[in-house]
Amino acid sequence: MFLEMFYNSRHFVIIVMDKILLEFGAQGCLHDSQFDRAQDDFNGFEPRVHSSILVLGELREHFAGIVDFELLPYESAQGLPFSGGRPSLVSCVDDLSELVELYGQRSTRFNLALNGGLNMSSEEADVGARDRDSELWKALTLLQSSGETNGVKNCVTILRDELLTVVKEFFPELATIASCIKFTVDGVDEVLRAYEDAFANYDNVVILAQHSKPEFLKHLKEYASRMIVFPFIGCAVGNLNDCRRHYSFVERSWSTRYLCGNCRDSLDEREDDLHALLDMGVRGFKFARGGVSLDTRDVKDLIEPYFSKGTK
């Protein structure tokens, strides 16, 4: 919730509105000039940095006075430690810096995806996180510096707690998001403890697709406003150890062509569950890299039935 205030001829009017967080993959879109070229070439790639800002404007216009939106683009760079198993289209930290700055200049914070490191030992993760001469430190430094310059709080999605310790100690102006991969552990009690620990130490938490059900998340209801859920990705794998092994394999292979084939039962197909989570206070949605792109129609279709009922 947030307050919007404006002044009419006699008094201030205060409107209480919901705010929806839209996290999405920001691959590509490194130069403003690409947008101009794309307009002249129908086969060109329209930079996401422009199209996403246009989507934001369209959503704000459509839901004016009811819901506001915040964009959170996320990406990593090729070769960065802890960057996970999905290859980035951003070739280096210098290009990543340009992408971060383009969003920052538009008052949009950026999320650096460092949700890998599943195959590292604790010692390897600690040493890798503390290497001040690494590209990782260069990326974190530019992320914090750009945020301070542009007045936004950039953030990092993290899997390894060794990296979290370093970010909190040396990059305190960055917000932190817990990766959903942290919760690929067996046993309901163990999973709930993992979530409780994450909410105690991170600013936001990405919910594993299998857990995006109200009967499970009701146990964590007090944290609902800090949850980020996948609306368009589901998973039918019941054994979370299998998920963890699969994530580990994908990270080692650096390829997503080994997807497990169990991606179904997504939240957008379960309207009752979606509305129950919105009732609970969940307001964060993540559009996965390589999945559904950020699109005005998809967001409208996702949330309009709920807000049109006046159930917010």
At 127-186, the pLDDT tens digits run 999 999 999 999 999 999 999 999 999 999 999 999 999 999 999 999 999 999 999 887
Number of domains in the chain: 1
Within a domain: 58:
no
* Partner residues linked to 17 by β-bridges: 2
Within a domain: 132:
yes
Q: What is the pLDDT of residues 1-38, one digit of tens each?
A: 544 444 554 555 444 578 999 998 876 433 334 344 44
Residue 253's pLDDT is what? 60
CA quadruple 105, 106, 107, 108: dihedral, nearest 10: -110
Q: Which two tokens stand for residue 306?
A: 């709920």
Domain residues for the domain of 273 are: 18-28+71-287
Within a domain: 22:
yes
Within a domain: 7:
no
What distance separates the 2 farthest-apart alpha carbons in the chain? Answer: 65
SS3 26: coil
Q: Which pTM was predicted?
A: 0.85
Give the CATH number, domain containing residue 102. 3.20.20
Q: What is the pLDDT of residues 62-99, one digit of tens each?
A: 999 999 999 999 999 888 889 876 667 778 898 889 88
Q: What percent of the chain has pLDDT over 70?
A: 74
